[in-house]
Structure 1
Amino acid sequence: MGQSLPKPALRPFLPADTPMLAAIFVASVQELTGDDYSEAQQEAWAAVADEEESFGKKLASELTLIATLQGSPVGFASLKDNTEIDMLYVHPSVAGQGVGTLLCDALEKLAGARGAKSLTVDASDTAVDFFRKRGYAAQQRNSVTINGEWLANTTMKKAFADGGAQS
């Protein structure tokens, strides 16, 4: 008899989550972006979470949701100013299992319910296809410097029908 996989659940961010989310962020960058970014770029990007206190303050300053499996965090996403998906990271062990979709769906619904007409995201090269499949369209290419390394990303935008998020 087959056993069904546990379904991910969502909950709000709590300050005590910061160390676990920092670990998810680092693992996601180090293990999922190697096809698109050099090792030096990955190290600079992952180092954003080295200062846990400022990383936690950033998460707390935005609407941050955590995806959990059997109570343990496996991903997170944050909405900045109700207009931008600022962060969306999943642990490599659950990549491709719908956790990112669950988080993105929730942020889109929340933003739409709060009156947003669209959402933008500065998508890493690794995440562009994920967002494109969700209806986001590329607006512009960007080069950003993080800890002394240049990284490229793409600003993408999704307009909501009737001013609210679609499911």
Structure 2
Amino acid sequence: MVNDAPVIRRYHPRDFPDVVEVFLRSVSEVAAKDYNEAQTRAWAQIDEQRWMVRLSHAWTFVACYQDELAGFITLERDGHLDLLFVHPDYQRQKTATALLNRLESQARAQNIATLFTEASITARPFFERHGFKVMAKQTVALRGEEFVNYRMQKWLGEALTLLEYRELSE
């Protein structure tokens, strides 16, 4: 158990192997409680080239404890929160909350008023606790498997105050 808050910083391509490990372990060990073995096997795969592009074309932040990458989050320019994953060893330590707070600050700085995501069964309660509302339950297909997830949305309100913007710029 880690007591300190994580350091949240921008993703760097050298983080890629750790991001992949966080994703694969999170799906295989955490989401596996809500999805069956065939679903988690289908989900826990990546196309490295596609992911490198995906991470570099979004605002991507990582959470670190000392030198260990514990989680990551991405925000696309249209307000889509595409990815949020936390390593199993760092679950329930406010890692995802710290990442989401940083992402929301970035969104406000970019005058993005609404965030939306497709939350897994596992992630839905987290997003609801942080002000997201379920817009629709949906079934999506991936690698021959069907998954239930939830299209969720959160209105952020006004843009950043000047003080908040200065803090982000430092």
The TM-score normalised by the length of structure 1 is 0.90
Q: Aligned match of 1:5 in 3, 6, 24?
A: 3
Unaligned residue ranges in structure 2 (runs of 5+): 165-170
> How far apart, CA to CA, are the structure 1 residues paired with 2:34 and 2:129?
18
Q: Aligned match of 1:77 in 65, 73, 76?
A: 73
Q: Aligned match of 1:114 in 89, 95, 110?
A: 110
> How far apart, CA to CA, are the structure 1 residues paired with 2:107 and 2:153?
13
Q: CA RMSD in A?
A: 1.8
- Structure 1 residue identity aligned to 2:57: S
Q: Aligned match of 2:32 in 13, 34, 38?
A: 34
- CA shift digits 1:136-157 (9 cap, x unpaired): 1000112111111111110111
Per the alignment, do residues 164 and 118 of structure 1 end up closer, same or farther by CA in structure 2, a change over 3 Å counting?
Answer: farther
- Structure 2 residue identity aligned to 1:159: W
- Structure 1 residue identity aligned to 2:54: K
- CA shift digits 1:20-41 (9 cap, x unpaired): 1111100000111122111110
Equivalenced residue count is 161
Q: Aligned match of 2:62 in 60, 66, 91?
A: 66
> How far apart, CA to CA, are the structure 2 residues paired with 1:52 and 1:102?
26
CA contact (8 A) 1:6 1:70 kept: no
Per the alignment, do residues 34 and 89 of structure 1 end up closer, same or farther by CA in structure 2, a change over 3 Å counting?
Answer: same
Show the counterpart of 2:167.
Answer: none
- CA shift digits 1:54-109 (9 cap, x unpaired): 22221111111010000221100000124111000000000010000000011111
Show the counterpart of 2:154.
Answer: 158
Structure 1 residue 13: deviation in Å? 1.1
> How far apart, CA to CA, are the structure 1 residues paired with 2:15 and 2:158?
35
- % identical aligned pairs: 32
Structure 1 residue 52: deviation in Å? 2.1
Q: Aligned match of 1:18 in 6, 13, 16?
A: 16
> How far apart, CA to CA, are the structure 2 residues paired with 1:130 and 1:13?
22
Per the alignment, in what secondary structure is the counterpart of residue 3 of structure 2?
coil
> How far apart, CA to CA, are the structure 2 residues paired with 1:61 and 1:76?
14
Quick check: 1:128 aligned with 2:124? yes
Quick check: 1:56 aligned with 2:52? yes
> How far apart, CA to CA, are the structure 2 residues paired with 1:82 and 1:67?
23
The TM-score normalised by the length of structure 2 is 0.89
Q: Aligned match of 2:133 in 104, 126, 137?
A: 137
Structure 1 residue 161: deviation in Å? 2.8
CA contact (8 A) 2:133 2:152 kept: yes
